[in-house]
Amino acid sequence: MADTDSRAMMVPRSLFVYALVYGGLVVLAGVLGTKISEIGPLHVESGIFAFLMLVVLSSAVAELHGKDTADRLVRYGFIPLILSMALIFIVIRIPPAPFWTLQDQFAGILGQGARLQLAGLISYGISQTLNVYVFTRLKGEGTGRAAWLRGLIAGLLSQALDTVLFISIAFYGVIDPGTGQAMPIVNIMTGQIIAKLTLVLVFVPVLITLLVRLGKSLDGKQ
């Protein structure tokens, strides 16, 4: 009986692996976001690549283990996100060694302001929750069992909302010190949305299909 109970309480292997990767990507997204990349004519923050994988992982978990589990994954994602923010805040303020001359660069790259951190927390929580909701809701509304199609629709909606929330909260009313003008949030938002939706269209259907198949294989299912 004890062996049966312990097996019943075991976390599925796919959920264990995907949760570990998810937690790491939540932290990495904030670090990558400090670099602005050029993709064709667009200039976008590089955190979108990690956030794309968060969309795929939360959708795959919802497909394999249900909406409630995917919702918990999103909520637990706040733990490494907030912890990493706190540790970065502390480390930046620890005096550097006398021979280490990169303190200003380190602080400049990783030292996000409170407003940017708040924008990241809000946009992450709402957009990822929406992604899981839409993905599972579509399955219940008779759109078929094609996880790639549901993931595509959910990813398009959630990433558009993520961009609108983050850019609005982070930059609304902020004055560009170089020009003395308000930050062009519409232009920034447009570039981000185009880049994110393009990446979702290209990668999400394939990645969700692969992760769902891999998850079933890890759990010993066909």
Proportion of the chain in helix, strand, coil states, percent, rounded to 5: 75, 5, 20
Band (23; pLDDT cuts 50, 70, 90): very high
**pLDDT one-digit tens code per residue, 146-190:** 888 999 999 999 999 998 998 888 877 777 666 777 777 887 788
pLDDT score at 69: 96
Q: Residue 109's beta-bridge partner residues?
A: none
**pLDDT one-digit tens code per residue, 39-89:** 777 777 788 889 999 999 999 999 999 999 999 999 999 999 999 889 988
Where do we find the tokens 């004519």? 41
Q: Looking at the domain 12-213, which fold is it?
A: Arp2/3 complex 21 kDa subunit ARPC3 (1.10.1760)
Task: Give the tokens for residue 137.
Answer: 């809701």
CA atoms within 13 A on the CB side of 25: 22
Band (9; pLDDT cuts 50, 70, 90): low
Q: Could you state, in order of their start, the residue ranges of all structural domains in the chain?
A: 12-213
Where do we find the tokens 């609108």? 164
